[in-house]
Amino acid sequence: MTITIDSACELDPRVSLRPEPFGALAYHYGNRRLVFLRHPDVVSVVKSLGEHVSVREALVANTVLEARWPAFVSAIDSLCESDIIRVR
């Protein structure tokens, strides 16, 4: 599935985020994947996805500049393919 700005997503409950100076490590206990989230802004958005109706609302709530939205949507789409994030 391709994630769009209007997709409703959340962090998979089988994923644990470990804070790191560069962002965070995401570990999926189901498939044992380890993914690096390389920026604190991405970590904030990923953590808050489940609290918002859409990716757009999560980006607005985390004060991400609109010019950066395409990069965030692409990153979230990639995280969805890795089962770190799931569509609600």
**Integer CA distances (angstroms), 32 to 21, 42, 43, 77, 79, in order:** 22, 21, 19, 19, 14
Global confidence as pTM: 0.91
42-77 pLDDT per residue, tens:
999 999 999 999 999 999 999 999 999 999 999 999
Average pLDDT rounded to a whole number, residues 71-86: 95
Domain limits, the chain: 9-87
Task: Indicate whether 1 pLDDT > 80.
Answer: no
Mean of per-residue pLDDT scores for the chain: 96
Task: Give the CATH fold of the 9-87 domain.
Answer: Outer Surface Protein A; domain 3 (3.90.930)
Average pLDDT rounded to a whole number, residues 17-26: 95
One-letter identity of residue 27: Y
How far apart are the C-alpha atoms of 53 and 79, rounded to whole Å? 18
Q: Which residues contact 87 (CB under 8 A, 6 or more apart)?
A: 1, 3, 7, 8, 9, 80
Average pLDDT rounded to a whole number, residues 30-35: 95
